[in-house]
Structure 1
Amino acid sequence: MQAFLVSTGIVALAEMGDKTQLLALVLAARFRKPWPIVLGILVATLANHAMAGALGAWITTVISPQTLRWILAASFMAMAVWMLIPDKLDEDAVDGRLPRFGVFGTTALLFFLAEMGDKTQIATVMLAARYDAWAWVVAGTTLGMMLANAPVVWLGARITRLVPLRVVHIVSALIFAGLGLLALLIPA
């Protein structure tokens, strides 16, 4: 259960102001069909994070626990720094054309691709390597993504005015730095 809760919290915080959250906002403004967008986000996140979680679980079979501890600590510290660099959405991500694959298909494809190498995907790999609970990590990171993105789809730009993203980024960075220190101090 700890893996689930930690994964949910970390990804929900990491997703604030992330390019996929900005993508959710753009898709919601363009298509104005929240259910297919939210379902597309869910499917893309499940697929992407399941692969990331499997990679994280596999890593634990080829790297010694002590080496993994140092890698995890360094990765969490790197994530702390990365959180302080705000993401921007590429202007070409969603253009003016009608979606070829429909709203759901377009959302799923764009989200899956946008998550490749993203903070939340890397966090999923690290969390799956940290906890021996692959399914709980994937469930938690997926819930964290949905908690951060679904309200943006339904509430649009109003949500971004309620939460100062700079504060969220700083808090997230502190949490990642704390997790990095904990990975060094407390054995798995």
Structure 2
Amino acid sequence: MDSTVFFTTFGLIFLAELGDKTQLTAMALATRYPWKKVFLGIATAFAVLNLGAVLVGKLLFTILPLVWIKLVSGGLFLYFGVTTLRGGGADEDGEGGRETARGPVVTSFLMILLAELGDKTQLVTTSLAAQHDSSFVVFAGSTLALWMVSLLGIFLGKQLIRFVPLSVIHRGAALLFLVFGAAVLYQAYAGQ
């Protein structure tokens, strides 16, 4: 394994995502759902995204216009912002009363998959994979960095509920989702 490629990829991706919408989304989801289910959804989404970036990243952007990806992503953030504002049935320990066991995993997976499709870290991963013969090393470095940033967000979110009422966190998360959704839709609109 080429450790220089691994650490370069890990460092670039970790720093690029630190404090980004992915980490904030992980934090918000962790206040609403059990952290293990949130992480499972997020981890799976990043593995799929990075596999796509390494194997077919360039082809993806020629088949599916980025504007459509941004429109779907923005719409999904707005939807989750509105549903979070309306309630959603979470009780005090974050377990959704009306949620199925798949709910948090699928929700986390879809939010990250659509939000990060075509994002800077996926483009960086695609670029690094194109520059190096070590596609697996690029995949491993990028995926591990994204998982670590997400875990930081999840655990920060879990600690936050010890000091801030859950209803305040839900309203804040809803507002973040709405802001992210509006920003992504604006980017899609401005990019045309």
TM range (shorter): 0.5 to 0.7
Q: Which position in structure 1 is the counterpart of 2:8? A: 6
Matched, 1:113 2:114: yes
After the TM superposition, which segments of 4 or more aligned residues of structure 1 sit over 2 Å from their partners? 55-58, 89-101
Mapping of residues 1-188 of structure 1, within 5 Å: 1=2, 2-31=4-33, 33-55=34-56, 90-94=77-81, 95-96=83-84, 97=88, 101-156=102-157
Distance in 2, matches of 1:99 and 1:48, equals: 26
**CA root-mean-square deviation:** 2.5
Deviations 1:109-133 (A, max 9, x none): 2111111111111111111111111
**Structure 1 residue 142: Cα displacement:** 0.5
TM-score between the two structures when normalised by the length of structure 1 = 0.60
The residue type paired with residue 127 of structure 1 is L
Deviations 1:99-153 (A, max 9, x none): 5741111111211111111111111111111111111111110001011110210
Distance in 1, matches of 2:150 and 2:42, equals: 8
Contact 1:15 1:120 in 2 (8 A): yes
The residue type paired with residue 12 of structure 1 is F
**Structure 1 residue 27: Cα displacement:** 0.4
Q: Which moved more, 1:94-103 or 1:106-115?
A: 94-103
Distance in 2, matches of 1:145 and 1:116, equals: 13
Identity %: 35
Deviations 1:18-44 (A, max 9, x none): 11111111101222x111111111110
Could you say what secondary structure the match of 2:139 adopts? helix
| Runs of 5+ unmatched residues, structure 2 | 60-75, 89-97, 161-192
Contact 2:23 2:152 in 1 (8 A): no
TM-score between the two structures when normalised by the length of structure 2 = 0.59
Contact 1:124 1:137 in 2 (8 A): yes
Distance in 2, matches of 1:50 and 1:129, equals: 13
Contact 1:56 1:129 in 2 (8 A): no
The residue type paired with residue 105 of structure 1 is V
**Structure 1 residue 16: Cα displacement:** 1.2
Deviations 1:164-187 (A, max 9, x none): xxxxxxxxxxxxxxxxxxxxxxxx
| Residues matched between the structures, number | 128
Distance in 2, matches of 1:29 and 1:138, equals: 29
Contact 2:11 2:145 in 1 (8 A): yes
